[in-house]
Amino acid sequence: MNVHPALRTLACLIGLAALSNLPAHAQDLRNGGKLLLTNGVSTIEGSGGGGLATWSTIAGNATQEGIGGSAHGTIIELPDYNWTSYGVSLGFFDRLELSYARQNLDTIDIGTALGLGRGYTLNQDVFGAKLKLAGDVVYGDPLMPQIAIGVQHKRSSDDAVVAAVGAASPHGTDFYISATKLFLSHSLLANATVRFTKANQAGLLGFGSATQNNHKPQFEGSIAYQFSRRFVVGGEYRTKPDNLAIAREDDWVDLFAAYALTRNVTVTAAYVDLGSVATAEKQRGAFLSLQAAF
């Protein structure tokens, strides 16, 4: 029986919600002392942050004395595509994060128009590492953000398609630096990330082209307001390189709301505007993500 990949992803995450009932000895290891929602959620690339933008936050609920982690499943429903992402990340002593995500872009009917066949799915694996350099999201100097550097190595599984659209390579590596701060007295979180990348549609259409094959700096910004300990709303903006002659690429925008169902389970819903995606214009739709963290 064929099951929608997004349904499989969310079904797996229902089991992960059991993390909230870890036994006492496991709780000692994880030392889950972070304030609710201050570890962010999981991005579509697996790293800790917002839905579309990477933050300097380290995955998991553990503080500097513990090991934590998270798992996520994300669905983005667009007019001409279905995007799913699922992955895991580990945070070590609130200093180092290692992450993995699998991305799938179902072309539905437009796959026929592109000559790929109806429902052809583009796939990509993303391996990430992030290191916290200085500061803290919540504590310390109220004007000093948490700063982290990171790397994401991405490998497309569709070499033939990547070559056909004019990309230079089916794999590539992004580098970034992020600064994130929660102004606790104002319940306001702000983030700014500079990413050096040559990815086409985040890498699903390969990297670079014959005429544009250099890393370019791109901006990822987020701002969020915390209405309560459990509920946050905000928005994100992410600029994109535009390397491919046959597939124009636009910047990404979202408006999101995140709610902590428990200390370990967070659901995020958003309206996203991804602009032009693989020749299809006005790709605007709904984003839903579930994260289990410990």
Average pLDDT for residues 66-77, to the nearest whole number? 94
Q: What is the mean pLDDT of residues 251-264?
A: 95
Q: What is residue 21's predicted lDDT score, i.e. its pLDDT?
A: 45
**pLDDT above 50 for 30:** no
For residue 181, is pLDDT > 70?
yes
Q: Which CATH architecture has domain 5-293?
A: Beta Barrel (2.40)
Q: What is the amino acid identity at position 198?
A: K
Mean pLDDT rounded to a whole number for the chain:
88
Q: So where are the chain's domains?
A: 5-293
What is the pLDDT, as a whole number, of residue 27? Answer: 42
The pLDDT score that the predictor gives to residue 33 is 75
> pTM for this structure?
0.86
Residue with tokens 């872009």: 105
pLDDT tens, residue by residue, 269-294: 999 999 998 888 999 999 999 999 99
Given this model, what pLDDT does residue 37 score? 83
Can you give the pLDDT at residue 5?
52
Mean pLDDT of 121-139: 95
pLDDT 10s digits, 136-176: 999 999 899 999 999 999 999 999 888 988 999 999 999 99
